[in-house]
Every structure is written in C-alpha cells, then in structure tokens.
Chains A and B, each alone.
Chain A
C-alpha cells in the first residue's frame, strides 16, 4: 500500500485556470506538508498543517490554499494559475510537527502551466 499518495501525477493547464492537487496518507500521521520543487530541483516548504493549525511560508502567494477535510488528507488549491507555478509539487507527512520526525513524501505532481 502506498503510504503517501497524490493525484494527479501530471497536470497540464492554461494560465488563469484554477486547479487542485489531492494528497492522502495512510500512515496515521498528524502533520502534512506541501513542498514545491522548481526546475533546478530546489525543494521549498509551502505549508505545514497539524491539528487544524496551518503554518504558511510567507513567500507563498495567497493564490495557493491548502484544505484539509480530515487528518489523512491535505489538498492544494491553486487559483489563477501563472506560468511561474509550473513545478513539481510534493505532499509529505510526519507523525507530528516536531523536528525529530521523519517526513515521508508522495510521488509528486508535475504541474505545467501553458
């Protein structure tokens, strides 16, 4: 069974559209994250979500919004997509939001904005 899964794996869309990426973890973890990997492979945290508390990286545009229906799911909604949003987005989870915990990553979603 896949521990952290994301759908879709590939997403191609036009500028200005709104899209969502879904993430689910079956590890029983309490904390989930979204990361963005740019074209140079650099990974950067976007959000972490734990017990309904959201911590946002201040550099993330407010067009991006995470939504968590329950602790096993953390979806990423993106409004008014821009060319610069093209990247690979990774969902991750950890037992808790403490520095000791290992984060386990999903397979990634490659978003291409045309």
Chain B
C-alpha cells in the first residue's frame, strides 16, 4: 500500500482560481513529519513546507496554505488566486521516526500532482 497518496494526477485551473491539492498518508508512527515540494517545468525540486505530527495548526504563507488533519491523515495544500508561475508538479512526502533498516530516514514521496494554471 502506498504510504503517501496524491489521488489527483493532474489539475487544470484558470488563473486567479483557488485550487487544493490533496495528500493522504499512512503511518504507524505517532511521530513523523510531512513535507511539500514543488517541481516547476525547469525541473528542480523546491522545498515548500515541513510540518510535524504534533502541530495541527494550519499554516499560511502568502497565497499558500496547508491544512493538516491527523484524524483523516491528510495534509492538503491550497493555492489562493493561482498564477501561471504556480504551474508545476507538487509532491507531498512523509518522513517517519521508526528505523527499519536500509533506506530508513528517507522521504517517501507521493506520485505528485501536476498543476496547470491557464492564463
């Protein structure tokens, strides 16, 4: 089973619309971190946010906001008043505290959501 599920493969919105990217995760740990990364068409991976499992406060950074709900194991990302520069693939990732051998302390990524913002 996937540990991080981003069910939306592709989303298209018209500029200035709001859009929410969904992320659902699965873990047995009580202590873990969640991340969002942005991969624009130029290809680099840009860190956006890190959230620990004990902090369920919503976070807002400019037009970006994140809603973390442990009850539904979700960490959703909303872009308000989208712009063409927001067009990218967005990845949600999970980092768990339990050590389980080779490859541990790794980020487990979802498959990404491709967002296209149409002018």
Contact = CB atoms under 8 A, between A and B. Distances in A.
Contacts of B107: 43, 45, 103
Contact of B45 (A44, A97, A108): A108
B21 interface: no
A86 interface: no
Interface magnitude class on chain B: 20 to 34
A106 B39 CA distance: 11
Interface residues of A, number: 27
Interface string A91-103: 0100001111011
Contacts of A58: 102-103
Contacts of A90: 45
Contact of A107 (B31, B44, B95, B102): B44
A110 B42 CA distance: 12
A99 B96 contact: yes
A57 B47 CA distance: 23
Given A42-B111, A99-B32, A107-B44, A55 B103 contact: yes
Contacts of A103: 47, 107
A102 B48 CA distance: 10
B109 A42 contact: yes
Given A48-B105, A55-B103, A99 B97 contact: yes
B44 A108 contact: yes
B64 interface: no
Contacts of A78: none
Contact of B43 (A40, A92, A104, A107): A107
Nearest to A42: B111
A88 interface: yes
B31 to A, nearest CB: 8
Nearest to B35: A102
A98 B105 contact: yes
Interface of A: 33, 40-45, 48, 55-58, 88, 90, 92, 97-100, 102-108, 110
17 contacts: A33-B106, A41-B39, A41-B111, A42-B112, A48-B106, A55-B104, A56-B103, A57-B103, A88-B43, A90-B45, A92-B45, A99-B95, A102-B35, A105-B45, A105-B46, A107-B44, A110-B43
